[in-house]
């Protein structure tokens, strides 16, 4: 029986334990230049010191137009590499491997940053404005942007990258029939809708090598679990080492429900783990806020790793509580997380003694 404190090897990367830090964007840490800052370095260094097994740095834009806001960190130019190198050093100094999530917002692009573009000319609910349908040339150019960002990530010392393939952004837009109405090689069948990201995976693998971890945080339901797993199979076939499972654009599967021990979002990762068991490691995420949930998921072989977000925002030393039973500051489950846009980036739990 596996324990949360057991090491695990993902690809060629060895993790000291089975708890990972999920990518959570720190709005207002970066400026319009997209550079990593001292605040980023401190933030990730604190979580590395807290005993996490792997850190995935927040969603990072591959082009200036793919940002959430003007204060969104990027890897679209070489000048940004040095700041990321400092984040990597802060993690590696504590023997914690670190990867970075690469993203483009697609049809939900912030108009202050760039034009909305995606697989089809659909209207984004978030903006209420129609997007531009990407041409074949624009698709290739975007794939190259993901590739060059990954190359920069490797130059900065990251142990790998994660593709942002969920929560309604560009890669997720390609896999969803709601946002992908194409009739060419990038639309229609599961294989075609997964092609955009699968080709990026192959490109990164060719340029960055076998020892560079490639993860996809993918939609666990789009619109049902069976289809989402079929999409993930295409990613694995292309060379994906690791699947971290969240939600997507559509949810039309009534078989997914909360359980006594974890919620329905987390159960998506459990379903993926059942399917990919022994082939590709899978991580669960969402609502994992106490040591008991972590232990239950790992010890009952329901997942390979657990992805922690609010738990380690509230208390960077949360992993130590899981491993030793030490006291910890539990997430207060604020209606609006204090690490969100326009917030002070100081979780109230960090100012309260447990």
End-to-end Cα, the chain, rounded Å:
31
Instruction: Tell me the per-residue pLDDT of 293-331, one tens digit each, with 9 for 90 and over.
Output: 999 999 999 999 999 999 999 999 999 999 999 999 999
Gap between the Cα atoms of 260 and 277, Å rounded: 23
338 pLDDT exceeds 80? no
| pLDDT at position 229 over 90 | yes
- pTM across the whole model: 0.96
- Sign for the CA dihedral angle at 112, 113, 118, 124 comes to negative
- Indicate whether 344 pLDDT > 60: no
| Alpha-carbon Rg for the chain in angstroms | 19
Write down the mean pLDDT value for the chain. Answer: 95
Integer angstrom CA distances of residue 351 from 79, 83, 155, 315, 330: 36, 28, 37, 10, 12
pLDDT band at 59 (very low <50, low <70, confident <90, very high): very high
Note the pLDDT tens digit of each residue in 19-35.
999 999 988 899 999 99
Query: What is the per-residue pLDDT across 69-105, written as a single tens digit (0 to 9) for each?
Result: 998 999 999 999 999 999 999 999 999 999 999 999 9
Residue tagged 């999409």 (tokens): 231
Give percent of the chain with pLDDT exceeding 70: 97
Domains contained in the chain, CATH given: 8-325 (3.20.20.70)
Paired tokens of 158: 């990251």
What single DSSP character describes residue 165? E
- For 106, which DSSP code? G
Q: What is the pLDDT of residue 353?
A: 40
Of the chain, the percentage scoring pLDDT greater than 90 comes to 89
Cβ neighbors of 156 (< 8 A, separation 6 or more) are: 75, 81, 82, 84, 85, 87, 88
User: pLDDT tens digits, residue range 103-139?
Assistant: 999 999 999 999 999 999 999 877 788 899 999 999 9
The token pair at 1 is 């029986």
């Amino acid at each position: 029986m596996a324990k949360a404190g057991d090491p695990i090897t993902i690809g060629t990367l060895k993790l000291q334990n089975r708890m990972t830090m999920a990518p959570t964007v720190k709005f207002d840490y970066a400026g319009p230049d997209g550079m990593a800052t001292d605040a980023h370095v401190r933030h990730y260094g604190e979580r590395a010191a807290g005993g996490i097994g792997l850190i995935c740095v927040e969603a990072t834009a591959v082009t200036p137009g793919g940002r959430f806001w003007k204060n969104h960190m990027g890897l679209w130019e070489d000048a940004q590499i040095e700041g990321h190198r400092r984040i990597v050093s802060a993690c590696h100094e504590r023997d914690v491997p670190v990867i970075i999530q690469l993203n483009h917002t697609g049809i939900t692009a912030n108009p202050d940053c760039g034009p909305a573009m995606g697989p089809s000319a659909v209207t984004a609910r978030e903006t209420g404005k129609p997007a531009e349908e990407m041409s074949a040339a624009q698709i290739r150019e975007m794939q190259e942007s993901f590739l060059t960002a990954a190359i920069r990530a490797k130059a900065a010392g990251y142990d790998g990258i994660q593709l942002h393939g969920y929560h309604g952004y560009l890669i997720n837009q390609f896999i969803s029939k709601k946002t992908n109405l194409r009739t060419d090689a990038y639309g229609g069948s599961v294989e075609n809708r997964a092609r955009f990201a699968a080709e990026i995976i192959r490109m990164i693998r060719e340029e960055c090598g076998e020892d560079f971890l490639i993860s996809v945080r993918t939609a666990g339901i789009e619109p049902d679990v069976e289809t989402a797993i079929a999409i993930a199979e295409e990613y694995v076939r292309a060379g994906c080492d690791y699947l971290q499972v969240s939600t997507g654009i559509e949810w039309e599967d009534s078989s997914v429900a909360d359980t006594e021990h974890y919620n329905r979002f987390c159960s998506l990762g459990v379903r993926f783990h059942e399917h990919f068991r022994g082939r590709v490691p899978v991580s669960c995420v969402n609502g994992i806020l106490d040591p008991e949930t972590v232990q239950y998921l790992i010890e009952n072989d329901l997942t390979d790793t657990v992805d922690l977000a609010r738990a380690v925002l509230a208390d960077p030393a949360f992993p130590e509580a899981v491993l030793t039973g030490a006291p910890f500051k539990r997430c207060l489950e604020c209606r609006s997380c204090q690490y969100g846009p326009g917030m002070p980036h100081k979780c109230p739990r960090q100012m309260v003694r447990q």
